[in-house]
């Protein structure tokens, strides 16, 4: 009886204050994310943009500013907020190279890559695995605090589990969203399908991705650091040069990896950055306004 009375008093206070159940839930979700954001990034500087409730602020001019959502997909469903993204004009004003790193974060190669990026004053995009984030949360937090973009690369990268169906596929990404959000207070809007979409995606997968409010990004340049030949640093740089060719595309989305065994990728990075700068490229992070690589 006492518990019932206290509950009624709380509800009465909310009623007098003019709060609706949705507004209370909205505030609780935001407050939880805000606490994590304050712990991870107390300065709350302009390193990133938080999407608004209707995704109406995603069209920006900064190519090196990550975009995140403070709401999970489940939060948006419960609150009746928009889930699917609006049409966004791709950024094509200048030549931009997007350095992307898959399969991390680990505690050896990823920190080496972060050290190089910091020294070169370059922002990059890390498509992370949920199970790797669980093992190395502090490395993920460093990625976030240093202003790089975090993308979702599934939970475990196991094709036989991931590509059973579009529902199994999206379930892994929602699970990884929650893990990322636990350690950063935000979730990504960008994803990358393990192995890329070619040969595994059909309309059902694309429709599921769109309905869940994600934007999927493959790549158009590859260092080939995941091939059986295990190329050394100079070969990786040459691979990128050859693929760019004599008529450099306006947009480069470059695939690399940041996990144990990819030490040569870290070694290749400084020369690759200098080469791209000499070709007139600026460096950006992948966001929903990044042009598709094809």
Q: Which of 143, 183, 142, 188 is nearest to 287 (CA)?
A: 188
Contact between 94 and 282 under an 8 Å Cβ cutoff? The reply is yes
Pairing of strands 149-152, 96-102: unpaired
* DSSP 8-state symbol, 255: E
* DSSP 8-state symbol, 127: E
Angle at which helix 137-145 crosses helix 166-184, to 10 degrees, equals 70
Q: Where are the beta strands (DSSP E) in the chain?
A: 49-50, 67-69, 96-102, 125-128, 149-152, 187-188, 190-191, 215-216, 221-222, 251-257, 282-284
Query: In the chain, what are the domain boundaries?
Result: 45-284
Superfamily of domain 45-284: Glycoside hydrolase/deacetylase (3.20.20.370)
- Per-residue pLDDT tens digits of the chain, which is 294 residues long: 434 344 443 444 344 445 455 555 555 655 666 565 656 554 455 699 999 999 999 999 999 999 999 999 999 999 999 999 999 999 999 999 999 999 999 999 999 999 999 999 999 999 999 999 999 999 999 999 999 999 999 999 999 999 999 999 999 999 999 999 999 999 999 999 999 999 999 999 999 999 999 999 999 999 999 999 999 999 999 999 999 999 999 999 999 999 999 999 999 999 999 999 999 999 999 999 999 998
Output the pTM of the full model: 0.88
Measured between alpha carbons, how far is 219 from 161 in angstroms, rounded to an integer?
23
- Give the active site residues: 102, 257
pLDDT at 294: 86
Q: Which two tokens stand for residue 265?
A: 């990728």
Measured between alpha carbons, how far is 47 from 71 in angstroms, rounded to an integer?
18
CB-facing half-sphere around the CA of 233: CA atoms within 13 A: 11
């Amino acid at each position: 009886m006492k518990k019932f009375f206290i509950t009624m008093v709380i509800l009465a206070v909310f009623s007098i204050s003019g709060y609706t159940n949705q507004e209370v839930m909205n505030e609780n979700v935001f407050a939880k994310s805000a606490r994590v954001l304050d712990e991870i990034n107390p300065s709350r500087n302009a390193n990133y943009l938080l999407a608004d409730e209707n995704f109406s602020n995603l069209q920006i001019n900064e190519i090196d500013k990550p975009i995140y959502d403070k709401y999970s997909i489940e939060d948006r469903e419960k609150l009746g907020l928009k889930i699917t993204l609006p049409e966004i004009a791709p950024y094509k004003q200048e030549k931009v190279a997007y350095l992307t790193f898959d399969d991390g974060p680990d505690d050896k190669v990823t920190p080496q890559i972060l050290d190089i990026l910091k020294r070169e004053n370059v922002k990059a995009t890390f498509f992370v695995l949920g199970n790797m984030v669980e093992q190395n949360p502090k490395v993920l937090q460093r990625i976030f605090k240093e202003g790089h973009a975090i993308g979702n690369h599934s939970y475990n990268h196991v094709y036989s589990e991931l590509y059973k169906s579009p529902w199994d596929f999206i379930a892994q990404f929602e699970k990884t969203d929650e893990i990322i959000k636990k350690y950063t207070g935000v979730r990504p809007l960008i994803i990358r399908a393990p192995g890329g979409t070619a040969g595994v995606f059909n309309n059902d997968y694309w429709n599921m991705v769109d309905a869940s409010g994600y934007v999927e990004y493959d790549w158009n340049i590859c260092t080939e650091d995941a091939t059986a030949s295990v190329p050394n640093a100079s070969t990786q740089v040459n691979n990128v040069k050859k693929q760019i060719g004599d008529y450099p595309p306006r947009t480069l989305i470059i695939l690399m990896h940041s996990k144990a065994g990819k030490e040569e990728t870290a070694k290749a990075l400084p020369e690759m950055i200098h080469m791209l700068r000499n070709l007139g490229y600026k460096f950006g992070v992948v966001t929903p306004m990044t042009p598709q690589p094809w």
